[in-house]
Amino acid sequence: MKHNLLVIGHRGAKGVYPENTLGSIQKAIEAGADMVEIDVHACAGGEIVVMHDDRLERTTDGTGYVSRKSLTYLKGLDAGQGEKVPTLREVLDLIERRIAVNIELKGPGTLGPVLHILGEYVSRHGWTYDQFVVSTFARKHLKRLAKHHPKVRIGALLAYRPWGFIPFARAIRAYSVHLNLRVTSPRLIREAREAQLKVFVWTVNDPIDIDRMRAWGVDGIFTDFPARTS
Ligand code: G3P
Ligand code: MG
């Protein structure tokens, strides 16, 4: 950790390499990130794959919805610079416990399979639950996590409308709140701190914003350029 600021590589190192690919995650590790953030969807066969959008066009040479495609189809796609769409397991195998992982649940049908995989990596591959944060904007999934999976660190994601968000995050015993830079304020940070919540802010790329977040005392930032924080 640099200067007490947790550096979280956003979609790996999105600013320097195709997002959510093994190469991007490798770049984040090389840049000294403390954690990487990845987005996940379930594909047609139920496997958990790492991708941000629910459709394939923006980040691959495929077309259509990821949830309707087989893993075999997805593995035939180019995710940029010859990279493939990785599975969650492939990402965890690459990281090999060197840094922590924030798994953001994007598509439907991801919560159960992700928790199953994390349980497997804890029981069989030497990971510990404190190396994972599972986050989502979907409040119903956050509540399910809180109710049924107390071992998992919960990251409560906020895009807009901060009113009532910190009490909600506290009620579900979240580990961290992941705040949109646009709504982050000293007041919101103070409120989160008083509720014993870690404050991680996304997506902080401009050096001026990085310095401001540091000055405001946030715990971590998601950044497309993990090397910029050194
Ligand atoms: O998890 C932080 C951030 O990634 C949330 O927004 O759209 O980049 O997944 P998005
Ligand atoms: Mg994300």
- Domain parsing of the chain, residue ranges: 6-42+87-229
Tens digit of each residue's pLDDT (9 = 90 or more) over 91-143? 999 999 999 999 999 989 999 999 999 999 999 999 999 999 999 999 999 99
State the catalytic residue, choosing from 10, 125, 148, 178. Answer: 10
Residues 24 and 18: their CA atoms lie apart, in Å, by 6
Whether ligand 1 lies within 6 angstroms of the CB of 178 is answered as: yes
pLDDT digits (tens, 9 = 90+) for 57-97: 999 999 999 999 999 999 999 999 999 999 999 999 999 99
- Pocket flag, ligand 1, residue 202 (CB < 6 Å): yes
CATH hierarchy code of domain 6-42+87-229: 3.20.20.190
The closest residue, in CA terms, to atom 10 on ligand 1 is: 52
Distance of CA 191 from the midpoint of ligand 1 (Å): 22
Return the exposure string of 28-43: e unless at least 16 CB atoms fall within 10 Å of the residue's CB, then b. Answer: bbebebbbbbbbbbbb
pLDDT for residue 115: 97
pLDDT at 1 over 60: no
User: Distance from the CA of 135 to the center of ligand 2, in angstroms?
Assistant: 9
Tell me: the pLDDT tens digits for 183-200? 999 999 999 999 999 999
* Residue of 11, 110, 136, 157 with the most ligand 1 atoms within 8 Å of its CB, for mutation: 157
CA distance linking residue 124 with residue 109, whole number of Å: 24
The model's pTM is: 0.97
**pLDDT exceeds 90 at position 229:** no
